[in-house]
Amino acid sequence: MSKEEFDVSKLSPKAQIKLEEVRKQHNLKTLAEAASYMLDFTKRK
């Protein structure tokens, strides 16, 4: 695992569902990728 990835299973079920939606929307392979995407997105604002 890269430094950017983290244990998605520690997130709340609601957060995991949201990540799953993001993962599908952006055709990402894993929930960790979706999490990284969301974190990067917040940095860009």
Please write the tens of the pLDDT for every residue from 2-32.
445 567 788 899 998 999 999 999 999 998 8
Rounded CA gap, 15 and 35, in Å? 10
Please count the residues of the chain: 45
And the tokens for 6?
């983290």
> What are the backbone dihedrals phi and psi of residue 42, each rounded to the nearest 5 degrees, phi first?
-70, -30
- What pTM did the predictor assign? 0.65
Question: Residue 5 phi/psi, 5° resolution?
Answer: -80, 155
